[in-house]
Chains A and B, each alone.
Chain A
């Protein structure tokens, strides 16, 4: 690892000041991607600004049937939170299946979605659940937030502070793991509720997480596993690599959507 300067921020203002002062400063929200990248000499930020200790950044609160999850809440805390389990068990289950225990006790929801790894679990979950991403300057609908591979709608100096998720009527996340990394080779989150019928896919899209209109149309008004049978999942636009061809991923999308509806 190249030398770097670590700053523990106590407030958003602290973060903004440190960002402005650093030559190539990066936020540290758990570091489960960033630190590994730095150890491999693939990233060399001048400054690491730790956002986890900022007041109000961690923990889960509720507003009626809406969950407000602090951006620095770890995956383990989301998975174990009673309100998350009650209002949105699909999200608790998703968080409890990220990585391994070491990752879940360090990685955070804000860190994950700001990174927007194309094989991460949270982007599919938040997109299917129609979540709202709250930052220090505005609120962004999940539909507008995830823009592409490792790319989001966040501006320079914009910091995620929380994620809001309204309880769906039904939802489930199904993941087929890439055998080596155990990241999602394909992950499909299905949700049905006030936000409509939504199917989001991670791990498969060349441009990252996406919603599958064909599956959504088939399930809309007919929330049953059998409804997915007639849907054709096109392999165009899907990733192809040593772990899975586009055709294989297309197959998994359909199989996982069916199983997710069954499990919801």
Chain B
């Protein structure tokens, strides 16, 4: 099958993207359109004592200025966090109220207090600056340490000491015993730096209210339009689901930041009803830095014990996580169930205990960002392993090998049951590809040029394909995490796939078509994908957590099973043969071993004309399926990073980066490589360049590309990538595991392990900027 599973088919969607024909939310122009601009707090923590809109309202072309009292007065509900976490003392998490427009208090710089609706975008922005808000400044807690301190400013009344929960996973007593009996204990204090997601397309919304139908339409930059509709209806009371259509058209990158429902979309919907205009809002880059949910921001102390043979005896983790000023949609789950269950890494560890305390701060909310909890866990585990190896005088690869899980299924002490993998083989693939045996010679050669060369590993595992709904529900999730698909075979034989997954860069229009082309032995051009519209697609949970392959494609496969069964029934009936003898190949549906056959499209036509179907068969050829996985999928990989550091400036060049990945079955190797490129580059960004900086007053100090460094092409090497496909996931029909996040999860520790190897000190935090590396070198002198 030319374009089937495993073929590097060129992306079908790229013609429109590369020729400027993509249609993004901001490209949409409605009749009767007006523009929203938000009045945002310049203070990180303040009381709102009054809002004077008179100057703005007096401007010609300003339609209305709306505030939070009006919004809550109209019954618009508070924004919710969808995953309930229970503290270890049994108490529920302390979720503070979050109104789309602040009513009495603002809690971070950028918190919206009012919205201006005007005839043009430029005018809306100018008028927003003319809205005078009377603030009474309050003391600020801009960082975790400040939020935890005695006498810290109280950010939400119902969260004493700003703590949201104090949660644990694992057996503390057993872990303490494991550490007490260890021959060696490695201790690290690790900060996981706060990141701004920066999708290329900023967030945007255009909301229209039809007063005759009492119906709303929202175009928005969403990774999961059905989830948006669900919460907008069930929690924010905008409109019941049948009176609200949400469309996520072409979306230019998400990385998690477009999972959530933000104040702006809610406000645009409500304002469209208030003003009877179609309301458009598009974030500029400054607003994106201020208001898109950030990622990471952990401070952790951890201890890992080893016996005399280097076997891990216990791993104890104490983490503080910054949630920001409000609890965003998945914020509670990221530092808990998406984090602690990954602490076993690729290793057989019997005793693990992870304690996580989360705090409010006067900063923008923190939520899932590419990897979501798993990068934080992986960074910790893999820096521990490398550091421990150095402290014990062992080869870091050998220490890993001694601890690898080798038998499957493997139950960890932190919920996860690993189902398939081959960690030693993948590490060996990476070592061979990276020519580890030649490293000493390369290091000596670099030294002659005055450069410090270092090599670092990261052997990581992640949990993708969120997730069994029953298990997620038992852990506090507010939604099920299945996916749905409909497969429509048209009367001419072409096929449309309606999927609840959403593509915002992943290439679903190609890969989803490939699995259909593969199954029915048809050209990939005959298959198209429909997604991103709640009026077209039956339902869906959207795309995040590398779930479109393991969960979304699995739903397509289930629907195809049903289609295939019906096709065979129709063909058997028409060709007067047994269903068991029918085969589908080469564009035909045939009776095996005979010359009797129907063209594929003839079966489609037969189903729809219904002139000659079996007596008990309904006409038509379309089937729907919902797929709920029985387990996560577990992609794993081995990364090896090789760097050269200029000791005079601290500048680090990544001279070689090798990734050996186990993504299970690969549908399109070209797209998978692209995902690895992007993910590793984002991981390198976290490791070497990116960090959101708030000052103690809660002012964002690097809210533009002049000060927030994103990785550029020149910052990264040409990657060396290989794949292991011999341990497919046993828990979904295609054996896929998910590839969207692996790079961002696995790369940061590989980079830092390499730099610390080069400079000979472990005391180096991310981002390892030239200054940070130079400082580390000086401090170690």
Asked if A179 is at the interface of the complex by the 8 Å CB criterion, the answer is: yes
Known: A1-B122, A181-B706, A255-B649. A243 touches B771 (CB 8 A): yes
Residue of B nearest to A182 (CB): B712
Q: With a CB–CB cut-off of 8 A, which chain B residues contact A41?
A: 125, 129
Instruction: Please measure, in the bound complex, the distance between the C-alpha atom of A245 and the C-alpha atom of B649, giving whole angstroms.
Output: 13
Known: A40-B286, A179-B689, A255-B649. A244 touches B771 (CB 8 A): yes
The answer on a CB contact under 8 Å between A248 and B771 is yes
Instruction: Please measure, in the bound complex, the distance between the C-alpha atom of A163 and the C-alpha atom of B587, giving whole angstroms.
Output: 73
From the candidates A1, A181, A248, A255, name the one contacting B707 in the complex (CB within 8 A). Answer: A181
Q: With a CB–CB cut-off of 8 A, which chain A residues contact B125?
A: 41
Asked if A252 is at the interface of the complex by the 8 Å CB criterion, the answer is: yes
The answer on a CB contact under 8 Å between A180 and B706 is yes
Q: With a CB–CB cut-off of 8 A, which chain A residues contact B705?
A: 180-181
Asked if A223 is at the interface of the complex by the 8 Å CB criterion, the answer is: no
Residue of A nearest to B775 (CB): A248
The answer on a CB contact under 8 Å between A248 and B129 is no
CB within 8 Å of A: which of B685-717?
Answer: 689, 693, 701-702, 705-710
Instruction: Please measure, in the bound complex, the distance between the C-alpha atom of A245 and the C-alpha atom of B771, giving whole angstroms.
Output: 8
The answer on a CB contact under 8 Å between A180 and B709 is yes
Q: With a CB–CB cut-off of 8 A, which chain A residues contact B122?
A: 1
The answer on a CB contact under 8 Å between B649 and A242 is no
The answer on a CB contact under 8 Å between A180 and B702 is yes
Shortest CB–CB separation between residue B780 and chain A, in angstroms?
15
The answer on a CB contact under 8 Å between A252 and B649 is yes
Instruction: Please measure, in the bound complex, the distance between the C-alpha atom of A245 and the C-alpha atom of B706, giving whole angstroms.
Output: 17
From the candidates B648, B651, B707, B774, name the one contacting A243 in the complex (CB within 8 A). Answer: B707
CB within 8 Å of B: which of A102-134?
Answer: none
Asked if B610 is at the interface of the complex by the 8 Å CB criterion, the answer is: no
Asked if B770 is at the interface of the complex by the 8 Å CB criterion, the answer is: yes
Instruction: Please measure, in the bound complex, the distance between the C-alpha atom of A41 and the C-alpha atom of B286, giving whole angstroms.
Output: 12
Shortest CB–CB separation between residue B270 and chain A, in angstroms?
26
The answer on a CB contact under 8 Å between B702 and A251 is no
Q: How many residues of B contact A (CB 8 A)?
A: 24
Asked if B411 is at the interface of the complex by the 8 Å CB criterion, the answer is: no
Shortest CB–CB separation between residue B166 and chain A, in angstroms?
32
Shortest CB–CB separation between residue A177 and chain B, in angstroms?
9
Asked if A2 is at the interface of the complex by the 8 Å CB criterion, the answer is: yes
Q: With a CB–CB cut-off of 8 A, which chain B residues contact A255?
A: 648-649
Instruction: Please measure, in the bound complex, the distance between the C-alpha atom of A1 and the C-alpha atom of B121, giving whole angstroms.
Output: 10
Residue of A nearest to B129 (CB): A41
Q: With a CB–CB cut-off of 8 A, which chain A residues contact B769?
A: 179, 243
Asked if B471 is at the interface of the complex by the 8 Å CB criterion, the answer is: no
A-contact 0/1 string along B634-663, CB 8 Å cutoff: 000000000000001111000000000000
Shortest CB–CB separation between residue A32 and chain B, in angstroms?
12
Q: With a CB–CB cut-off of 8 A, which chain B residues contact A40?
A: 286
Most chain B beta-carbon neighbours within 10 Å: one of A1, A242, A245: A242
B-contact 0/1 string along A39-74, CB 8 Å cutoff: 011000000000000000000000000000000000
B-contact 0/1 string along A220-259, CB 8 Å cutoff: 0000000000000000000000111100100110010000
Shortest CB–CB separation between residue A212 and chain B, in angstroms?
17
The answer on a CB contact under 8 Å between B689 and A2 is no
Asked if B126 is at the interface of the complex by the 8 Å CB criterion, the answer is: yes
A-contact 0/1 string along B743-769, CB 8 Å cutoff: 000000000000000000000000001
Instruction: Please measure, in the bound complex, the distance between the C-alpha atom of A176 and the C-alpha atom of B649, giving whole angstroms.
Output: 9
The answer on a CB contact under 8 Å between B706 and A251 is no
CB within 8 Å of A: which of B390-438?
Answer: none
Q: With a CB–CB cut-off of 8 A, which chain A residues contact B651?
A: 176
Residue of A nearest to B689 (CB): A179
Known: A179-B689, A180-B708, A181-B707. A251 touches B774 (CB 8 A): yes
Instruction: Please measure, in the bound complex, the distance between the C-alpha atom of A252 and the C-alpha atom of B122, giving whole angstroms.
Output: 43
The answer on a CB contact under 8 Å between B709 and A179 is yes
Shortest CB–CB separation between residue B364 and chain A, in angstroms?
18
Most chain A beta-carbon neighbours within 10 Å: one of B122, B129, B705, B774: B774
Residue of B nearest to A248 (CB): B771
Instruction: Please measure, in the bound complex, the distance between the C-alpha atom of A242 and the C-alpha atom of B691, giving whole angstroms.
Output: 10
Q: With a CB–CB cut-off of 8 A, which chain B residues contact A183?
A: 706
Instruction: Please measure, in the bound complex, the distance between the C-alpha atom of A176 and the C-alpha atom of B701, giving whole angstroms.
Output: 21
Most chain A beta-carbon neighbours within 10 Å: one of B125, B701, B705, B769: B769
8 A-B Cβ contacts within 8 A?
A1-B122, A176-B649, A180-B702, A242-B701, A243-B707, A244-B771, A251-B649, A255-B649
Binding site for A on B (CB under 8 A): 122, 125-126, 129, 286, 648-651, 689, 693, 701-702, 705-710, 769-771, 774-775
Assuming A179-B770, A181-B707, what are 14 further A-B pairs, CB within 8 angstroms?
A1-B122, A41-B125, A180-B702, A180-B708, A180-B709, A180-B710, A181-B705, A181-B706, A242-B693, A243-B769, A245-B775, A251-B648, A251-B774, A252-B649
The 9 closest A-B pairs by CB, nearest first: A180-B709, A179-B709, A181-B706, A255-B648, A248-B771, A180-B707, A244-B771, A242-B693, A179-B689
